[in-house]
């Protein structure tokens, strides 16, 4: 249904259920609820909106008050989105071992990200968030025991599933758990409405917090006391922290879980890859793990069975993780063979690219006296001893700027193709004067204290030899020294060929 939304949070939920017709075994139907359709690409958008709206309604959250949460990333990204839209500052506390994409996404959305040591695990990151909230009077959304978490899933996720399968057979619903919000909320409503649908819970095979049957020890105030004895580090980011949360424990106590399926890490990765390759659905590691559990179930289910599994998030959040570890960046042999199968635009030197037709010599553009004066003034300007004639978005100019910034070197960048230099092709006229001055046609051209350094790699080489540092000291330019190789400022694809 197409409609206009008043703000991005209104687009949360109502995610599609998609049939996996290529992966399901003969005679069994597997469906997936694709939570990547939420605006931030994960199921946690539902919780973020619920937590903020619930706190606003109860007067727990004041306008402009800072919101804080301990998160494996998805909750943080979702809260960063809702807080950005509602005008609350947001601080995410996250263990350092979760993927860097997550940190960057949160910061891009305006959040602050406080990292905690991996060795402190999920409970350490939670304790840090509690401490910060208490100390600063920030609002902690408490995703692990906040009833609004499960409530939202009961009200939205479960109702959506009931509507999509109304009047149809549904033998099992498969999910994993992190906070247990999805599990508790959906299981409760689903069981009440259609008790014949089995609730199947997947968890990492090496970290069977539910399978062990052991409850988490709790302190008097309800917080978890220490790591669960069955916990082991696993690769399913967002699943099974080192404690059984209150929401998970509630689900156990309510007797809502029919079956627990352990999933091996490699099976989770393989299932996520199969989902992408054979169904065209890009989802994360826990989605792969949930599907792997659904497949296990399907293989031993009677013909005609119908199974629904949750796919909690998008695969794009895992580019730096084991999920994408085997995906090459460079061309494979097979891809080179495709490249070599036609003559144009190849990398190999034996390329039979047809010779280019001779190019008529380009007439040297006339150098205007005003442009020549501009170049000379800029090079000799005592207020800006470091000056770079640049193009706004060229990769080499960008790399030189990164080096200047890293070392705190003040510089003037004259961006010849920027709007400011476009009128009457003023940038082009300056470039012609610069060519005449240096005898070089390439950009950038960099000058320090009136001396011509050259282009980006000349700058880097001068820095590596120590010559630039001496010149800058002599010219009274302040800067920071360190041993970083300036070539590391080049983007990866340039790096590879330098
Ligand atoms: N998968 C991923 C990738 C997650 O980030 C989360 C949430 N931590 C879950 C699954 C589990 O969802 P829930 O918190 O509702 O149990």
Cβ(228)–Cβ(242) below 8 Å:
yes
What pLDDT, in 10s, does the model give residues 134-173? 999 999 999 999 999 999 999 999 999 999 999 999 999 9
pLDDT at 358: 67
pLDDT at 348: 79
User: In this structure, which residue's CA is closest to atom 4 in ligand 1?
Assistant: 238
What pLDDT, in 10s, does the model give residues 300-340? 999 999 999 999 999 999 999 999 999 999 999 999 999 99
Alpha helices (H) along 317-358:
333-340
pLDDT at 232: 92
Q: What is the mean pLDDT of residues 76-104?
A: 95
Residue 354 has pLDDT above 80, yes or no: no
Report the separation in Å between the CA atom of 108 and the middle of ligand 1, taken as the mean of its atom positions.
Answer: 21
Burial 466-495 (b: 16+ CB within 10 A, else e): eebeebbeeeebeeeeeeeebbebbeeeee
Q: How far apart are CA 48 and CA 139, in angstroms?
A: 13
Residue 489 has pLDDT above 70, yes or no: yes
pLDDT at 357: 65
SS3 494: helix
SS3 210: coil
Alpha helices (H) along 137-201:
147-155, 157-164, 181-193
* Omega prior to 46 cis, within 30 of 0: no
What average pLDDT does the chain have? 94
What pLDDT, in 10s, does the model give residues 177-198? 999 999 999 999 999 999 999 9
Q: How far apart are CA 112 and CA 96, in angstroms?
A: 14
Q: How far apart are CA 324 and CA 478, in angstroms?
A: 43
SS3 95: strand
With a pLDDT cut of 70, the percent of the chain lying above it is 95
The residues near 468 (Cβ < 8 Å, ≥ 6 apart) are: 448, 453, 459, 462
Q: What is the mean pLDDT of residues 357-374?
A: 83
Alpha helices (H) along 37-120:
44-57, 74-86, 100-108
Extract the tokens encoding 30. 């597997």
pLDDT at 493: 73
Cβ(351)–Cβ(416) below 8 Å:
no
For residue 220, name the pLDDT band (cuts at 50, 70, 90): confident
Atom number of ligand 1 nearest to Cα 178: 16
What pLDDT, in 10s, does the model give residues 150-161? 999 999 999 999
C-beta of 129 in contact with ligand 1 (< 6 A)? no
For residue 127, name the pLDDT band (cuts at 50, 70, 90): very high
For residue 227, name the pLDDT band (cuts at 50, 70, 90): confident
Report the separation in Å between the CA atom of 45 and the middle of ligand 1, taken as the mean of its atom positions.
Answer: 11
Residue 284 has pLDDT above 80, yes or no: yes
For residue 356, name the pLDDT band (cuts at 50, 70, 90): low
Range in 354-358, 386-390, 405-409, 455-459 the model is least confident about: 354-358
C-beta of 41 in contact with ligand 1 (< 6 A)? no
With a pLDDT cut of 90, the percent of the chain lying above it is 87
Burial 76-94 (b: 16+ CB within 10 A, else e): bbbbbbbbbbbebebbbbb
Q: Is 44 a catalytic site residue? A: yes
pTM of the model: 0.88
Residue 355 has pLDDT above 80, yes or no: no
C-beta of 284 in contact with ligand 1 (< 6 A)? yes
For residue 351, name the pLDDT band (cuts at 50, 70, 90): low
Per DSSP, what are the bridge partners of residue 310? Answer: 33
Cβ(449)–Cβ(459) below 8 Å:
no
Helix and strand numbers, DSSP H then E, in the chain: 17, 14
Q: Per this entry, what is the length of the chain? A: 498
Pocket test for ligand 1, best of 48, 80, 153, 238 (most atoms within 8 A of CB): 238
User: In this structure, which residue's CA is closest to atom 11 in ligand 1?
Assistant: 178
Give the residue from 110, 150, 143, 118 showing the smallest Cα distance to 129.
143
- The pair phi, psi for residue 93, each rounded to 5°, is -110, 120
pLDDT at 141: 98
What pLDDT, in 10s, does the model give residues 376-413? 999 999 999 999 999 998 889 999 999 999 999 999 99
Per DSSP, what are the bridge partners of residue 18? Answer: 32
C-beta of 76 in contact with ligand 1 (< 6 A)? no
| Sheet hosting strand 17-19, strand order edge to edge | 17-19, 29-34, 306-311, 172-175, 198-204, 259-263
Pocket test for ligand 1, best of 12, 43, 156 (most atoms within 8 A of CB): 43
Q: What is the mean pLDDT of residues 333-358?
A: 80
Burial 156-167 (b: 16+ CB within 10 A, else e): bbbbbbbeebee
Cβ(193)–Cβ(170) below 8 Å:
no
- Single out the catalytic residue among 44, 184, 191, 246: 44
Report the separation in Å between the CA atom of 142 and the middle of ligand 1, taken as the mean of its atom positions.
Answer: 14
Residue 498 has pLDDT above 50, yes or no: no
């Amino acid at each position: 249904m197409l409609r206009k939304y008043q703000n991005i949070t209104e687009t949360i939920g109502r995610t599609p259920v998609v049939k996996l017709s290529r992966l399901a075994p003969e005679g069994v139907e597997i469906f997936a609820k694709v939570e990547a359709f939420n605006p931030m690409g994960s199921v946690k958008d539902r919780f973020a909106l619920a937590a903020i709206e619930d706190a606003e309604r109860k007067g727990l959250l004041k306008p402009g008050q800072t919101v804080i949460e301990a998160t494996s990333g998805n909750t943080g990204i979702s809260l960063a989105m809702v807080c950005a839209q509602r005008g609350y500052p947001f601080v995410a506390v996250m263990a350092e071992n979760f993927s860097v994409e997550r940190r960057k996404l949160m910061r891009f959305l305006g959040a602050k990200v406080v990292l905690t040591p991996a060795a402190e695990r999920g409970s350490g990151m939670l304790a840090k968030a509690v401490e910060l909230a208490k100390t600063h009077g920030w609002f902690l959304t408490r995703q692990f025991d906040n009833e609004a978490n499960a409530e939202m899933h009961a009200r939205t996720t479960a109702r959506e599933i009931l509507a999509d399968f109304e009047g149809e057979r549904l033998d099992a619903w498969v999910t994993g758990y992190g906070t247990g919000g999805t599990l508790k909320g959906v299981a409760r409503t689903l069981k009440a409405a259609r008790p014949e649908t089995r609730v199947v819970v997947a968890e990492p095979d090496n970290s069977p917090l539910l399978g062990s049957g052991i409850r988490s020890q709790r302190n008097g105030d309800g917080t978890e006391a220490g790591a669960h004895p069955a916990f082991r580090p696993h690769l399913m980011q967002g699943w099974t922290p080192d404690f059984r949360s209150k929401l998970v424990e509630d689900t156990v106590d309510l007797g809502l879980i029919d079956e627990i399926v352990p999933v091996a890490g490699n099976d989770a990765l393989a299932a996520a890859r199969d989902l992408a390759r054979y169904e065209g659905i890009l989802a994360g590691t826990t989605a792969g793990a949930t599907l792997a559990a659904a497949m296990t179930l399907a293989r031993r289910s009677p013909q005609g069975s119908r199974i629904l599994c949750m796919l909690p998030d998008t695969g794009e959040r895992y580019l730096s993780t084991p999920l994408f570890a085997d995906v090459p960046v460079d061309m494979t042999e097979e891809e080179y063979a495709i490249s070599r199968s036609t003559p144009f635009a190849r990398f190999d030197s034996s390329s039979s690219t047809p010779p280019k037709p001779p190019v008529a010599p380009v007439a040297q553009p006339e150098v205007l006296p005003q442009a020549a004066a501009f170049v000379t003034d800029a090079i000799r300007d005592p207020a800006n001893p470091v000056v770079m004639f640049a193009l706004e978005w060229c990769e080499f100019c960008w790399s030189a700027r990164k080096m200047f910034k890293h070392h705190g070197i003040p510089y003037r960048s004259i961006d010849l193709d920027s709007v400011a230099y476009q009128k009457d092709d003023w940038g082009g006229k300056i470039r012609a004067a610069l060519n005449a001055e240096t005898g070089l046609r390439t950009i950038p051209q960099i000058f320090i204290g009136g001396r011509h350094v050259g282009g980006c790699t000349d700058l880097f080489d001068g820095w590596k030899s120590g010559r630039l540092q001496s010149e800058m000291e002599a010219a009274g330019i302040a800067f920071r020294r360190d041993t970083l190789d300036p070539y590391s400022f080049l983007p990866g694809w340039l790096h590879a060929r330098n």
